[in-house]
Every structure is written in structure tokens, then in C-alpha cells.
Structure 1
Amino acid sequence: MDSLFIQNSILSLVLGFLIGLQREMHTIYLHKAKDFGGARTFSMIAFFGYLSAWFSAFIPYFFLIAAGLSGLLLIAAYIVNSLSASEKGTTTEFTALVTFVIGAMLHFTLPLLAAFITMIVLFVLNLKEKIQEYEKTITKQDLSAAILFMLMTFVILPILPDRAIDPMGLINLYRIWIMVVLVAGISFFGYIAIRILGSTHGISAAGLFGGLVSSTAVAMSMARRVHENGFLAKNLAMGIALASSVMLLRAGIEIWVINPALVQTFIIPIAIGTLAGYGYIAMLYFTSKRENISQNIEFKNPFDLKEALVMGLVFGATLALISLSNRYIGDMGVYAVALVSGIADVDAIILSLSSLAKNGLNPSTAHHAILIAIISNTFAKAALVLFFGKIGLFRLVITYYLISIGAFALTALLMY
């Protein structure tokens, strides 16, 4: 007897059994009425799928007939069960259909692929409770933002011309829009993480995920909270520091995506600055009070259409300013733009410099201008902490900035 036939027959029964067992356990734990099939039924479905594919080598169209018959049986099972159940979904029936296909895959493809699909099916089936939790958290506006992200990335971006559209060669719509997608995409990830996990899990979690959205917003919010919870100044400083550490990593990712050659001079400085900062954060953690207060930070959804358009205008203006400064004033003009832009937002200036370093701007000038922008942004956040918070919190935060950003800047200067 063919050993491959025996192997695949056994494997189809095992894979079907696993899927059916998950369906049985699901009905037991949720105290639901038993569905049309369990472990044995799904084993037979997978086995039938394999046999149908195997017989198709001897009987033409056998697999197509078997697949159609299986579909009709599943439709009949759904109709019968729906008559006796107040709430009836279609997950089990569609899972049975996929199980039939998994069995057939054992004949048409490698067994590893069938096992891989089975693991995906089991993973998705076990997500139901989590998905229901997320449905309560994610709003209609968040879903609209996700759709807008897909539209911006896969519809608008490909049709934009990758060339300057003005006589002076300053405005490249494709380059501007890819920056918008990158920054808003990173921010959107952090925003969704906070929506799902919640910022009320504590100061550290809020700072860590909030840094993906806006480290400036984290610094302002936590600085205000020190007036209510002064005894937790170290905890609040830790949250601000974590957000700023994410900002440094985020800057590295942005440079790498736009200009991989330029990021090579920043990898070691970012690593040293981040590790030095985390050393100070660890010291704050071990010397702070073990009390955790909820930290709600209001973030705007980064994929609002108006916000995306404003972001595009900011990026376009920054690109134009840097190009004109480099063309008519020289390096000092670029540094001045970096200093002023960094106060408000570090993303626009970093991405603009990274892009222009591939298109005429001296990489050395871009390198030093990025340093100026990050330092400028850091001092701007420190000023916000001093203005909205207390002097004790400010001392803790400025110490972190001197250690982390100082180590980053010094290493970047020495290495270039």
C-alpha cells in the first residue's frame, strides 16, 4: 500500500480532529447548544476532502462533485440547526468548508501548507472573545480612519507623480504623501494600541504607547498630573521618559524608511542614547513608589482627513523651506529651519532632511540638522514640563534628557 496515502489519510484525520475539537470546546465553555459537528465530524470532513482529491486522479470531476455535495450538506445542516436555535452564526459551517479544503490540500500541495492553514484557522477561531472586546473599544471613527489609511496608502499614493510639479522643483507630491502615510501610520498604530489596551493600565504603559502617537502630548498631560499626585513625580517622570525614548526610536525608523544610507550614522547613537536613557528609567523605577494611578491621555485620531491634509501641507512647506535655505543661504539656513521646525514637530523636519539628503542636500548637513531638530524638540518638551508641571518633576525629566539625548548627540557628533 502507498505509504504517502496512509500518511496523508492519518494527517487529514488529525487536522480535522483539532479543528472539530476547538468547535466542541467553544460550545461547551460558552454553554451553547451543540452545533452540527464536533471532533469526529470534522475529522471525517477533512478525510473526505483528501479522498475526493485523491480519487480525482482516477475519476474526472470527482473532486468538484464532492465539493458541491459537501457544500449542499453544509447548507442543509445550517438550515436545520437555525430552526432550533435562537441565535445561529455561520462560523462552524464555513470552518467545515475550509476543513474540506485542508484535507484536499494534502493531495495537491505539501502537507506543511495544510498544517499551516490549520494553525491559522485555529488561531482565528480562538480570537472570538478578544474580537468582541475590541469591538466595544474601537469606534466607528476608528474604523473610518483605518479605511482612510488604506485609501491613502494603496489608492492615492500609487497615482501621485514622483517628480517636482512646480518650476522651482520644490514640490514632489509623491515624496510628501509617503511621509504623511509613514508618520500617520506609526501614530495610528500607537493610537489603536492605546484604544485596545487602554491608557488606564498605568503611567508607564501610557508613556510607552503614547510615544508612538505624540511624546509632546504625553509630556504635557503628565506634567499637569503632578499637581494632583506630587508624591508620584518619579512615576510621571518615568512615563515622560518612556515616551521620549520611543520618539528617538521612531526617528530612527523614519530615517531608515526614507534614506537607509543616512540611518547608518544614527544606529549606534540611537542605541547608546536609548540604553543610557533606559538605565536612568530603571533607576527611577526602583526608587519610585510602587503605586500606579490611571493615566488618561486624550489623543486625536491621526487619520482624520483634515489632519492628513494639514500634515501634507506641513511636510511640503518644510521641504520647500529646507530646499530654498540650502539653495540661497547654505548650511546655516538649513540649521535655522531645523531649529525652528524641531520646536513644534520633529517628524516633518527629520523626514524632509532624510529625503533631501538623497536629492542634492549634503548628507553631512542633513546629519547635523537632524541632531539640531531632535535637541530643539527635546528642549521644547522640557520647557512644557517646567511650565505645566513642578520644578521637582522638571529636574527628573531634564536629567533624563541630558543623559539620553546627550549621549545620543555626543555619540552622533563623534562618529560622523
Structure 2
Amino acid sequence: MFQSLLHYVPNDLQMFILVVVFAFIIGLEQRRYHINEPFENLFGTDRTFTLIGILGYILYIIDKQQLYTFIIGACFIMLLLGIYYFQKISTEKKFGLTTILIALIAYTLAPLVYTQPLWLTFSIVILTLVITEAKKSLFAFSKLFDEDEFIVLAKFLVLTGVILPLLPAQPISVSIAVSPYQIWLAVVVISSISYASYLVKKFIFPNAGIIITAILGGLYSSTATTVILARKNRENPDDSTILPGILLATLMMYIRLFLIAYIFNRTIAFALLPYFLFFILVTSIIIAGLLWLHREQKVNKTTTFLITKGNPLEFKTALVFAALFILFSLVTSFVFRVFGNSGLNVLALVVGVTDIDPFILNLFQGKMVISEGVIVLSVLNAIVSNNILKMLYAIVLGAPLLRKKIWISFGILIVSGIGISLWLFLTKGT
């Protein structure tokens, strides 16, 4: 019904109403924002901004093709705003340009509503309001950045926006079936997940306890998180959240690997999904059981800072990962060509005690003719081997009092993984 009513309203009138409403809302926000300032210090608020929007509309519709009148009007508005700005500097010693820039945005509303989708105009107006009102929040947020933060961001942009598009998509050679683009894309995906985890930890949960640290650390590296939390346990043996945190990091590993698989090979991702859901369910039950056993103990609220295994955005780390990716591509291709499916499954068990990401990514986007079942079994074998490594890290580095529970907890995961691998091997012939 609303659409049918709009049919009777001329399009120019609709656009005019939108411009007036948007400009008026911006003006109201400026009046509220400057409510405590002397009125004579402002060049205007709600009425002025609405009139600026109307002026922009008039000068735009007069000549929509050449836009001479609109451009002349813009120059006139900028001249007036420039006079106001220099007067403000000389009298108040204030150099802020925010209000002037918002006035120019109000002036450009007319061409926006005519030439751009309505959602874009809404987004611009909303973002203008939010940025203006969030001044104090943005200032507090900027204090969280240290001197190296923008260097890290620049490295991330170089990895994703400069290096990746320049790389060729052709395979390196016959023996190395992957292309430089595929190799670096794997680096970018892993770095993006790690960087996102780092940003959430630092800016959203800067004072997070062990549980949140385990969740975010597991997205980066469940092995590294296990090492850090196990050492934390030796420092504080009575903390009942250490082992649940270690297991929670392992749980996040399944989510992380599914995301990687979904990005590179959705068929394999959905083939792995039932097994990952099973392991997530088993791990969750173990975690819940441990927390229930220690429900009477006081939970440690102290902050845990996750020390990662290396900055994922360092070029050295990225080059090492790329080198490992190529190495595993050669090794995987050789093992599969010489020893077939059985050799690949054994290799998966071996690489589980190292960094499993390069090996698994090779399976996800490799050019070898490997069946879906073999890839799934190889991934599960690598995970079993990696869980054994984490169990050993936790036992060696953690407090002696925790060793029995580590054996039982990880033992359930490892035996479950071996059982599923054997079932796949026997029933599906992979």
C-alpha cells in the first residue's frame, strides 16, 4: 500500500522530502552536540543545516547535467564557512573542522539521494551522526593504540592489498602444483584469523580472564595457547579454569579449521562438519564436567595475557609459512604419488606434531586427485596427532596435580579421534 501511495507522489518531491529530513536530523544532532556552547559561537544548527540542504537541492535540480549552479553554490558555501573558520581561530583559538565538514555533507545530500541507492545515503547520514556523537569514545579508543599498532595494520594491508593481487595464478611448476597466489592466499587467510583474534583480545577484552583468552587464543593457535596456559597452571596450581581453558582452545581449533576449509573447499568443509560437531560436543561435555567438579572453588579473575607464537603479520613469519606451504606441497605430492592413501594418512599423523595449517591447506586447495574421504581422514589424523602433542605440552609444563585430569580429558578426545579414523578407514576404504 505504501508503494502504491508513493506512486502518486512526484519523484522530485520525494527526493526533496528526503533531503530536508536528512539535513534537519543532522542539524538537530549539531544542536544537541553544541547544547552547552554559547549560541553566538556557532554558525548555525538545525535551521541552518536544513537550509543548507535545501539550497543544495535547489542548485542541483536547476542543472542536473552540467552542475554549474551546484558547483558555484558549493564554492559560495565554502567561502562562508572559511570566513567563519578563520574568525573562530582568531577569536576562540579552536581549530576543529567537524561542524564545517558536516555542513558540506548536508549540502551534498541532494545529488546523493538522486544518484545513489537510498541505503548508501542512509548509511552516510547515520555514520555522520555516530562519528560526531562518538568523539569521546573514539578518543578513548585511540588511547589503546601503541606506537607499533599502525605498523602492524600497515603490514596487514601490505599482505592483503599489495602483495596478493600482484602474484600470478599459474602453478609454480609441474612438481609444485599450487600457484604463488594460492600460497599467499593461505598466508592471508591464516593471518586474517590471527589478526582478528588479536584485535578482539586487545580492544574488546583487554582484561579478559582465562576463558576468554582461551577462546581467542584458540582461534590463533590452540597449541600456543596450551603452552601458555600450562605454564600459568604451574604458577597457580589451584586455578580450576586452566584445564577447561586449554580444552576450550582445542574446541576453537575445530571452529578455526572449519572456517579455513569453508573458505578454500566448501565440499570438504561440510564433509568435515559432522566430525567437528562431534568433537565440539565431546569437548564441551568435558569442559562442563570439569567446571562442575570445581563449582565450589573460587574462579580466578586475574588477567591472562596471551603470548602468541609470533606475530602473524611479520613478513618473516609470513615467509616461513609460505616456505612450509611449498615444502608440504612437495612432500604431500611425493608421499601420495609413491605410497598412496596410506602414506598420506601416516604423513598426517607426523605433521600433527608440527604446524598443521600448511599441510591441511595443501589438502584443501591442492591440485592432486585425492578423494574427499582421504582428505577428511588425513585432516582427522593430523588433529589426533596435534591433540597428543598438546596433551604432552600440558603434562610437562603444567602442575603435577593436573596431570591425571589432563590424561583423562585429552585421552577421551584422542581415543574418540582414533576411533572415528579407524571407522572411516574400515567402512569407507580411505
TM-score for the superposition, normalised by structure 2: 0.85
Distance 2:274 2:260 in 1: 16
In the alignment, what sits opposite 2:249? 243
Q: Does 1:310 align with 2:310?
A: no
Distance in 2 separating the partners of 1:62 and 1:411: 74
Tell me the residue number matched to 1:274. 280
Deviation digits for residues 66-91 of structure 1 (CA, Å, limit 9, x no counterpart): 22222222222222222233342222
- CA distance change for structure 1 residues 331 and 78 in 2, over 3 Å: closer, same or farther? same
Instruction: Name 2:259's counterpart in structure 1.
Output: 253
TM-aligned CA distance change 1:81 to 1:276, over 3 Å: farther
Which residue is equivalent to 2:4?
none
C-alpha distance in 2, partners of 1:28/1:397?
61
Map of 1:343 onto structure 2: 353
Q: Which residue of 1 aligns with 2:369?
A: 360
Q: SS of 1:232's equivalent?
A: coil
- Matches of 1:317 and 1:407, distance apart in 2: 30
State the Cα distance separating 1:399 from its structure 2 match: 4.7
Alignment match, 2:80: 73
Moved more, 204-213 or 80-89: 80-89
Q: CA distance change for structure 1 residues 100 and 387 in 2, over 3 Å: closer, same or farther?
A: same
CA distance in 1, matches of 2:372, 2:108: 55
From 328, 332, 335, give the equivalent of 1:322: 332
Go from structure 1 to structure 2 and tell me whether the alpha carbon gap of 1:345 and 1:108 turns closer, same or farther (over 3 Å shift).
closer
In 1, the alpha carbon distance for the partners of 2:142 and 2:106 equals: 27
* Count of residues in correspondence between the two structures: 414
Q: Deviations over 1:371-399 (max 9, x none)?
A: 11111111111111111112443444555
Question: What percentage of aligned pairs have identical amino acids?
Answer: 26
Question: What CA distance in whole angstroms lies between the structure 2 residues aligned with 1:236 and 1:83?
Answer: 61
Alignment of 1:130-279 (within 5 A): 130-166=137-173, 168-169=175-176, 172-233=179-240, 235-279=241-285
Tell me whether 188-197 or 39-48 shows the greater mean CA deviation. Answer: 39-48
Q: Does 1:296 align with 2:305?
A: yes
Equivalent position amino acid for 2:303 in 1: S
With over 3 angstroms needed to count, the CA separation of the structure-2 counterparts of 1:37 and 1:166, relative to structure 1, is same
SS in 1 for 2:395: helix
CA change 1:221–1:35 in 2 (3 A) is: farther
Give the superposition deviation at 1:243: 1.7
Contact (CA 8 Å) 2:56, 2:110: kept in 1 or not? Answer: yes
Length-normalised TM-score, structure 1: 0.88
After TM superposition, give the deviation of residue 33 of structure 1 in Å: 10
Return closer, same or farther for 1:11/1:138 CA change in 2, 3 Å cut-off.
Answer: same
* CA contact 2:175–2:330 (8 Å) conserved in 1: no
After the TM superposition, which residues 101-140 of structure 1 pair with which residues of structure 2 at under 5 Å, given as runs?
Answer: 101-109=108-116, 111-140=118-147
* Aligned CA distance change for structure 1 residues 113 and 329 (closer, same or farther; 3 Å): closer
What letter corresponds to residue 345 of structure 1 in structure 2?
Answer: D
The answer to whether 1:376 aligns with 2:385 is: yes
Q: 2:69 is matched with which residue: 46, 62, 65?
A: 62
CA–CA separation in structure 2 for the residues paired with 1:114 and 1:294: 43
Letter in 2 for 1:82: I
Give the superposition deviation at 1:129.
Answer: 3.2
> Which stretches in structure 2 are left out of the alignment for 5+ residues?
1-7
- Unaligned runs of at least 5 residues, structure 1: none
> CA contact under 8 A between 1:218 and 1:243: conserved in structure 2?
yes
User: Contact 1:160 / 1:173 at 8 angstroms: preserved in 2?
Assistant: yes
Q: Deviations over 1:38-79 (max 9, x none)?
A: 233222222222232233359963222222222222222222
- SS of residue in 2 equivalent to 1:227: helix
> Is the Cα contact below 8 Å between 1:274 and 1:404 reproduced in 2?
no
Q: Distance in 1 between matches of 2:65 and 2:163?
A: 50
CA contact (8 A) 1:17 1:40 kept: yes
Q: 1:407 to 1:118 in 2, by over 3 A?
A: farther
Cα RMSD of the aligned pairs, angstroms, is 3.1
Q: In 1, distance between residues paired with 2:194 and 2:116?
A: 41
| Structure 2 counterpart SS, 1:201 | coil
Greater shift, 371-380 or 77-86, is seen at: 77-86
Q: What is the DSSP-based 3-state SS (H/G/I as helix, E as strand, rest coil) of the residue aligned with 1:138?
A: coil
Q: Distance in 2 between matches of 1:68 and 1:18?
A: 24
Whether the 8 Å contact between 1:138 and 1:195 is mirrored in structure 2 is no
Structure 1 counterpart of 2:365, one-letter code = S
Question: How many Å apart are 1:321 and its aligned residue?
Answer: 0.8
* Equivalent residues of 2:384, 2:414 under 8 A apart: yes
Asked if structure 2 preserves the Cα contact closer than 8 Å seen for 1:21 and 1:39, the reply is yes
Letter in 1 for 2:330: A
Give the C-alpha shift of residue 355 in structure 1. 1.8
Amino acid at match of 2:274: I
Q: Distance in 1 between matches of 2:289 and 2:43?
A: 58
